[in-house]
Amino acid sequence: MNRHLLSMRDLSAEDVVRILDTAESFREVGTRVIKKVPALRGRTVVNLFYENSTRTRISFELAAKRLSADVINFSTTGSSVAKGESLKDTALTLQAMGADAIVIRHASSGAPHRLTTWVRGHVLNAGDGTHEHPTQALLDLYTLRERLGRLEGLRVAIVGDVLHSRVARSLSFGLVTMGSEVTLVGPPTLIPPEALAWGVQIDHDLDAVLPKLDVCYLLRVQTERQRLEYVPSIREYARRYGLTSARVAMLPDEAIVMHPGPMNRGVEIDSDVADLPRSVMEAQVTNGIAVRMALLYLLLGAGGEEG
Partner 1 sequence: MSAPAWLLRGARVVDPAQGRDEPLDVLVRGGVVAEVGVGLDAAGATVLDVAGALLAPGLVDLHAHLREPGEEHKETIATGTRAAAAGGYTAVAAMANTSPVSDRAAVVRAVRELAEATGACDVFPVGAITKGQQGETLAEIGELVEAGVRLLSDDGRCVASARVLRNALTYARAFAEPVVIADHAEDPDLVEGGQMHEGVHSVALGLAGRPAEAEEVIVARDLAIARMTGGRLHLCHLSSARAVELVRRAKQEGIRVSAEVTPHHLTFTDEDLRDYDTNLKVNPPLRTAEDREALRDALVDGTIDAVATDHAPHAVEEKEVEFDRAPPGTIGLETALAVVLTELVAPGRIDLLRAIDALSTTPARILGASEHGGPIAPGRPANLVVVDPEASWVVEPPFVSKARNAAFLGRRLRGRVVHTLLRGRPTVLDGKVVA
Which residues are identified as catalytic?
A: 55-56, 83, 105, 133
Residue closer to partner 1 (CB basis): 90 or 180? 90
- Among residues 2, 25, 79, 86, which is the contact residue for partner 1, using CB under 8 A? 86
Q: Is 198 in the site for partner 1 (CB under 8 A)?
A: yes
Q: Is 220 in the site for partner 1 (CB under 8 A)?
A: no
Q: Is 244 in the site for partner 1 (CB under 8 A)?
A: no
CB of 178 to partner 1, least distance (A): 18
CB of 41 to partner 1, least distance (A): 34
- Side chain identity, residue 146: E
- Among residues 27, 105, 166, 259, which is the contact residue for partner 1, using CB under 8 A? 166
Residue closer to partner 1 (CB basis): 197 or 249? 197
Are 49 and 76 a contacting pair, CB within 8 Å? yes
Strand pairing report for 44-49 and 201-203: unpaired
Phi, psi of 132 (to 5 degrees): -140, 160
Stretch that binds partner 1, among 21-29, 82-90, 181-189, 233-241 (CB under 8 A): 82-90
Stretch that binds partner 1, among 130-138, 153-161, 178-186, 202-210 (CB under 8 A): 130-138
Q: Is 249 in the site for partner 1 (CB under 8 A)?
A: no
Residue closer to partner 1 (CB basis): 88 or 239? 88
List 70's β-bridge partners, or say none.
44
Segments in 210-270 forming alpha helices (H): 234-241, 245-248
Q: What is the rounded distance in angstroms from the CA atom of residue 300 to the CA atom of residue 307?
A: 7
- Among residues 106, 122, 145, 259, which is the contact residue for partner 1, using CB under 8 A? 106
Closest listed residue to residue 253, CA positions, set 207, 205, 213, 218:
213
- Give the angle subtended at the CA of 25 by the CAs of 22 and 28, to the nearest 5°: 145
- Among residues 64, 111, 216, 291, which is the contact residue for partner 1, using CB under 8 A? 111
Q: What is the rounded distance in angstroms from the CA atom of residue 212 to the CA atom of residue 258?
A: 16
Stretch that binds partner 1, among 38-46, 105-113, 215-223, 233-241 (CB under 8 A): 105-113
Count Cα atoms within 13 angstroms, Cβ side, for 84: 0
Residue closer to partner 1 (CB basis): 118 or 283? 118
Residue closer to partner 1 (CB basis): 89 or 207? 89
Q: Is 53 in the site for partner 1 (CB under 8 A)?
A: no
Are 143 and 171 a contacting pair, CB within 8 Å? no
Residue 2 has a CB neighbour count (10 Å cut-off) of: 13
Q: What is the rounded distance in angstroms from the CA atom of residue 166 to the CA atom of residue 28?
A: 29
Are 30 and 78 a contacting pair, CB within 8 Å? no
Q: Is 187 in the site for partner 1 (CB under 8 A)?
A: no
Peptide bond into 262 cis (omega under 30): yes
Residues in contact with partner 1 by the rule CB under 8 A: 9, 86-88, 106, 108-111, 113-114, 118, 128-132, 163, 166, 169, 192, 194-195, 197-198, 226
